[in-house]
Amino acid sequence: MSGQADVKSIDTLAFVKAAIAAFAHETGQAVAEVELDGRRTVDWITVDQAAHWKAEMRRANDLVNKAVKDLEHCRTYKKVGDNTPACIEEKKALQKARAFLERAEQKAEAVRRWSPVVQQQFRETCVRLVRFREVIDVDCPRAMARLETMLRALDAYREVASPRPAGTAAAAPQSVRRQEESPAEPPAVAEAGSAAPGPTSTGQPGEDA
């Protein structure tokens, strides 16, 4: 395990913390908008469009019935002798009413068929967004708290590791470095057998005491 910490820029950690906060805020709003727009779309298809085309089918049926009666009235009351009246306008109105009814029925059937599909897709999307919500609401605050702890620890260590002598202005450190100091080596022991000064004899050989 390394016995040192080498941090080149504390400001970078602060920048990362601010970036995570901005990311959590912006993505939280984006996810909320996606969920809201998705719900509105589902409601528009399954509720608004279903009601709209149901009402259009009733209106188209009424138009068809009216057009049929108009055509029958034309054929009955506009007949001259054995000549059957053309009733061109009434026939066109009936044809148009039937086309309108057919289109309304197709639209109503499409809404009925696709409503379950749209609802299922929206539910699956919401399930996928749950995990992303956890990243925004849990992981991002946790990472920010961790970075804040690191910043406080590094600031405190910088004050301890770089004391300024009284009366001098120390230059700003380029990095914050922590190095474990090695224990001081014991003083060297004198080698065994080294020559030690012995007692000095003051008498000369052959001299009388």
Spell out the domain ranges in the chain.
Answer: 4-161
Average pLDDT score over residue span 170-194 = 44
Q: pTM above 0.85?
A: no
pLDDT in tens, 15-45: 899 999 999 999 999 999 999 999 999 999 9
Mean per-residue pLDDT, 68-88: 79
How far, in Å, CA of 92 to CA of 95, rounded? 5
Distance CA 90, CA 72 (A): 9
Sign of the torsion angle spanned by Cα atoms 73, 77, 79, 85: negative
The predicted-structure confidence for 129-155, as pLDDT tens digits, reads as follows 888 888 899 999 999 999 889 888 888
- Cα 80 to Cα 42, 68, 83, 187, 195: the distances in Å are 57, 20, 5, 140, 158
To the nearest whole number, what is the mean pLDDT of the chain? Answer: 78
